[in-house]
Amino acid sequence: MKIAKDGLLRTTTGLNMRSSRGVQQDNLVAALVMGALLHPLQDGVSDWVNVRVIGWHSSASNKLYSDPDARSTVKATLKGAVPAAIRTEGPWSFVKLDGFVSYGPADKPYVVVVDGPK
């Protein structure tokens, strides 16, 4: 399978998400955990992949969770400004965060396709 806009990716390692392509001192937005699911915002891949991570955020933490419960799976640690809420449930906000992740070396990529066109 190949990376496509309607697909789904999974991180194969802990991975930094950046606000722009490349490593710069001020562009780190989140530290993703291994196994985090990402939604590609582009077709194909170069060195960097434009992606979206979605999840739940509580003002009591800088973590992004898979469900509105602090006992659920952590997807990422937010490193910058908290994204705008799409909807809220009590103290929880459902958010989406867009950014870039490095694809990694071709023989051991940092992200793999979970679902998408063949």
The reply to whether 115 falls in a domain is: no
The reply to whether 117 falls in a domain is: no
The boundaries of the domain holding residue 100 are 8-104
Q: What is the pLDDT of residues 3-42, one digit of tens each?
A: 888 889 999 999 999 999 999 988 999 999 999 999 999 8
The reply to whether 44 falls in a domain is: yes
The reply to whether 61 falls in a domain is: yes
- Nearest Cα to Cα of residue 35 among 78, 72, 75: 75
Q: What is the DSSP string of 6-43?
A: T-EEEESS-EEEESSSS--TT-EEEEEPTT-EEEESSS
Q: What is the pLDDT of residues 57-110, one digit of tens each?
A: 988 888 999 888 888 889 999 987 777 788 898 889 999 999 999 999 989 999
Q: Which residues make beta-bridge pairs with 55? A: 95
From CA 80, how far away is CA 53, in angstroms rounded?
14
- Cβ 64 vs Cβ 20: under 8 Å: no
From CA 101, how far away is CA 76, in angstroms rounded?
13
pLDDT at 1: 64
Q: Which residues make beta-bridge pairs with 77? A: 31, 63
Number of domains in the chain: 1
CA separation (Å) from 101 to 29, 52, 67, 80, 88?
A: 11, 10, 23, 15, 27
DSSP classification of residue 104: -
Q: The pTM is what?
A: 0.88
